[in-house]
Amino acid sequence: MPDEPMPASSDGPPPTSPDEPMPAPSDGPPPTSSDEPMPAPSDGPPPASSDLVAELTLLAETLAARDDHGDLSARLAWLIDALILRGQLPASFAALAARVKGTGDRSVVRIATFRDKYAIASAEIDCAARIPLCGARCCSYDVTLSAQDLTERDIPFLVMQPYLLPRENGRCVCMDAGGACTIYERRPGACRAYDCRRDPRVWIDFEGRIPAPRP
């Protein structure tokens, strides 16, 4: 008689074929395919509330209509951009941010770094004799004051553009009607260090006393 197959043992797992995959261990996660999509990331921050959107819109439109507060305009534009990137503001706000960025002058404080203006050697130039030729052109340039100038408290500066020496009609406010400097002994370091002799904006030929054409 042919041999009958042996029954499976009741106290162990059934035999498996060598071609069948091994079952996953019961105490671990089920196997996953590398082609399966990764689980979606957790939700980002919630959209901004309607009240916040309304306030940002009003603030942005107000700043965009003004020609000052440039620093605030730049910060608000950055905030709007950040909220758009985080998905908390609609992309349509980008146009409003662009309007805000394009308006307003930056409120930059400029200050000269001269430690002691009285120690600066000035060029020996016969300014009084040359003013009728050059028109005191150097006195139309921007001059930034130093901390020393400010502590002396008798040299004016522009409040909206600190700390620039003010000008009226393109000329320094410290000039008198004849073109002379009324604060010459206390003049800023930039004025003391300036040498017009090789400045093509002033002279074509300094020694020949030929001034440059006026702009």
Cβ proximity of 144 and 110 under 8 Å: yes
Instruction: Spell out the residues 6+ positions from residue 48 whose beta carbon is closer than 8 angstroms to its own.
Output: 56, 83, 88, 89
Q: How many CB atoms lie within 10 A of CB 172?
A: 23
pLDDT given at position 83: 82
How confident is the chain (215 residues) per 10-residue block, as mean pLDDT? 53 54 54 52 71 82 68 74 80 76 60 92 93 93 94 90 88 91 95 94 96 89
DSSP of 173-195, one letter per residue? Answer: TTB-TTS-BTTGGG--HHHHH--
Any bridge partners for residue 147, and if so which?
none
Largest CA distance in the chain: 140
From the CB of residue 171, how many other CB atoms can be counted at a distance below 10 Å? Answer: 15
pLDDT of residue 166: 93
Count of CA atoms in the C-beta half-sphere (13 A) of 187: 19
End-to-end alpha-carbon separation of the chain, Å?
A: 125
Three-state SS for 52?
Answer: helix
Indicate the length of the chain as a whole number: 215
Distance in angstroms (rounded) separating the CA atoms of residues 172 and 50: 52
Domain boundaries, the chain: 50-101, 117-211
> For residue 104, which amino acid is it?
G
Give residues with Cβ within 8 angstroms of 7, minimum separation 6.
Answer: none
What separation in angstroms does the CA of 192 have from each of 38, 48, 139, 149, 189? 70, 56, 12, 13, 5
Which pLDDT score is estimated for 141? 92
DSSP strand pairing (203-205 vs 210-211)? antiparallel
Give pLDDT, residue 30.
Answer: 54
- β-sheet bridge partners, residue 210: 205
